[in-house]
């Protein structure tokens, strides 16, 4: 028994509207469900990036059709990596520069590939990386 892929990656923030702006305007993700007091749901290709306010999700169980959606909610800077094309490095640099977003670090991986790191408004570490880094086609 094996899952097929990551379907949802999750980060936490106390400011969901700021997260929605950052993930759409700076990172280019598509809004699946706009920010409310609990969450904002974003789509990235065949995967989802979900941001939650941990004050809400850790303390208020929600339910669907009588079934409980389990609580969760972490504090402190999390991490997420998004897959980008190998030839897009300079375009991403220019894109961030034009929006006044600082690049925290850039890494060239020994096995090949590269990563650009920045911070979201909540301080989460966001990485744009080529799949080559993991030997993934």
Question: How many of the other CB atoms lie within 10 Å of CB of 128?
Answer: 22
> Applying CB under 8 A, does 101 fall inside the site for its own copies?
no
> Applying CB under 8 A, does 100 fall inside the site for its own copies?
no
Single residue of 37, 59, 64, 100 touching its own copies by CB under 8 A: 64
> Applying CB under 8 A, does 122 fall inside the site for its own copies?
no
Helix (H) or strand (E) holding 92: helix 89-98
Single residue of 18, 56, 80, 101 touching its own copies by CB under 8 A: 80
> Applying CB under 8 A, does 93 fall inside the site for its own copies?
no
Burial status of residue 52 (CB atoms within 10 A of its CB: 0-12, 13-18, 19 or more)? buried
Q: CB 127 → its own copies: shortest distance, Å?
A: 7
Burial status of residue 65 (CB atoms within 10 A of its CB: 0-12, 13-18, 19 or more)? exposed
Buried b (16+ CB within 10 A) or exposed e, 108-124: eeeeebbbbbbebebeb
Return the DSSP state at 131.
G
> Applying CB under 8 A, does 35 fall inside the site for its own copies?
no
Site residues (CB under 8 A) for its own copies?
1-10, 12, 27-29, 32, 43-50, 52, 54, 58, 64-65, 67-85, 88, 91-92, 95, 104-110, 117, 119, 124-125, 127-129, 131, 134, 136-137
């Amino acid at each position: 028994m094996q899952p097929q892929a990551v379907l949802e990656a999750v980060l936490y923030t106390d400011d969901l509207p700021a997260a929605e702006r950052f993930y759409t305007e700076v990172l280019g993700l598509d809004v699946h469900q706009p920010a409310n007091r609990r969450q904002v749901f974003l789509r990235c290709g065949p995967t989802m990036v979900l941001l939650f306010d941990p004050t809400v999700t850790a303390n208020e169980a929600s339910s669907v059709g009588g079934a409980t959606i389990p609580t969760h909610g972490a504090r402190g800077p999390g991490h997420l990596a998004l897959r980008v094309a190998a030839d897009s490095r300079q375009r991403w640099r220019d894109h961030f520069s034009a929006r006044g977003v600082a690049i925290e670090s850039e890494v060239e991986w020994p096995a090949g590939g590269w990563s650009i790191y920045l911070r979201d408004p909540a301080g989460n570490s966001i990485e744009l990386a080529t799949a080559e880094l993991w030997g993934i086609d």
